[in-house]
Chains A and B, each alone.
Chain A
Amino acid sequence: MTSVTYEPDSIVKRYLCARIDPDRVVPPTGPESPTLDVEWRFVDGEPYYRIHYADPNTGFNCGWHRDDDHPDLGPVHFQYEHSRRDESDHQRAQFQKTIPTEIFWIALDRLFEKRIPTLLSDDGG
């Protein structure tokens, strides 16, 4: 990660935005830095979160969301969109852990080790 900033600014602090070094992403991307947004909130004690990756070079974006958007898929879903291939999908997802930091690291592992290489492989996964 090359930088991490609060968005929209460091007073309002709605979510964190990390910029990713494009050379560290497999398969390679660039020249723009992909971004990773992380938002975590609690409404009446219930966690709502969004861990979302977006690559401005390819239009690919994906992430894990815990919200009321897709109740049919359970509390958490994974969604991705590949505008150039006209592909998109929402899938059921799950984390065994409860602590935000643990969920975040697991999501990062899944994102860079599995999701990006699979979804962006030549055959489209």
Chain B
Amino acid sequence: MSDDPDRGDDATHTSMTRGERVRAAARTLRTPRTASWVADETEVSVKTAQKYLDQLVEDNVLQKIEQGDQTLYCIDQLMATYREVASLQREHDREELTTALESMRRKITRWQETYNVETPGELRASIADRDDPDEIEERREIASEWEHLADRIPVVRAALAEYDWATERDRVSV
């Protein structure tokens, strides 16, 4: 190809309002960032970014951190996790959650036995000693799935731990 289709970030986002763009971006802020950084990334004014970020702080989606003379915003991870726990409790019955949790744990035990390692990090490190590209690819793919399951298991476990309590509170009387 004569030109490089990957040159330039020239997306137009015509279907989104500025507010939607900032709000969507804000929900991915794992690292604390200033309003002006978010404004720059989402191509809106600092004032616009600030307005939507502050709204999300009010809504307990973001946390505001004062650091020196800077105000930083990042995802409120505790609230995000509670929301995720509540969705699992509301959308799945106890049996579905139990079966999924067991299946995730079984996979990890099998990988630990197959590769003789304890953690996905150890499996990733073992790639350095391999030559076969297919085996490298397989180990990398499994390490990635394992990392995901290691994050996911505590959330599903938390959903199960207070399942009855949550279901009781989720009842709507009409």
Chain A residues with a Cβ under 8 A of chain B: 9-14, 41-43, 45, 48, 67-69, 78, 91-102, 105-106, 108-110, 114-115, 118, 125
- Output the residue of A96, A101, A102 with the most chain B CB within 10 A: A101
Decide if B156 touches A11 in the complex (CB within 8 Å).
yes
- Is B10's beta carbon under 8 Å from chain A? yes
By beta carbon, the residue of chain B nearest A50 is B144
Report how far A105 CA is from B24 CA in the complex, Å.
11
Partner of B147 from the list A10, A43, A94, A118 (CB cut-off 8 Å) is A43
Q: Return chain B residues, CB-CB under 8 Å to A78.
A: 6
Are B28 and A99 in touch, CB under 8 angstroms?
yes
A76's closest neighbor in chain B, by CB?
A: B6
Option from A69, A114, A118 in Cβ contact (under 8 Å) with B140:
A69
- Contact at A101–B91, with CB atoms within 8 Å? no
A10 nearest in chain B by CB position: B91
CB of B66, distance to nearest CB on chain A (Å): 22
Determine the chain A residues whose CB is within 8 A of the CB of B104 once the complex forms.
12
Q: Does B17 contact A (CB under 8 A)?
A: no
Q: Say whether B69 faces chain A, with CB atoms less than 8 Å apart.
A: no
Q: Closest Cβ of chain B: how far from A47's Cβ, in Å?
A: 9
**Residue in chain B with minimal CB distance to A100:** B28
Q: Which residue of B lies closest to A110 (CB)?
A: B5
- Contact yes or no, B9 A106, CB < 8 A: yes
Tell yes or no: B100 within 8 A of A by CB.
Answer: yes
A11 near B96 with CB under 8 A, answer: yes
Specify which chain B residues have a CB less than 8 angstroms from the CB of A102 in the assembled complex: 9, 11, 25, 41-42
Closest CB of chain B to A121's CB: distance in Å? 11
Closest chain A CB from B61 CB (angstroms): 14
Say yes or no: B25 contacts A101, CB within 8 Å: yes
Report whether A118 and B96 are in contact in the complex, using a CB–CB cutoff of 8 Å: no
Bound together, the chains give a CA A106 to CA B147 distance in angstroms of 27
Is B13's beta carbon under 8 Å from chain A? yes
A12 to B96, CA, bound (A): 11
Closest beta carbon of chain B to A111's beta carbon, Å: 9
A91 x B92 contact (CB < 8 A): no
Task: With CB as the reference atom, state the residue of chain A lying closest to B7.
Answer: A94
B88 touches A108 (CB 8 A): no
Verify if B152 is at the interface (C-beta below 8 Å from A). Answer: yes
8 other A-B residue contacts (CB within 8 Å) besides A14-B148, A95-B9, A118-B1: A11-B100, A68-B140, A91-B6, A93-B6, A99-B28, A100-B28, A101-B28, A110-B11
Chain B residue contacts of A94, Cβ below 8 A: 6
Knowing A11-B92, A48-B144 are in contact, say whether A118-B41 is a contact too (CB < 8 A).
no
Query: Would A45 and B140 be within 8 Å (CB), given that A11-B156, A102-B25 are in contact?
Result: no
Whether B145 is near chain A, meaning CB under 8 Å from some CB there, is: yes
Q: Does B12 belong to the interface (CB within 8 Å)?
A: yes
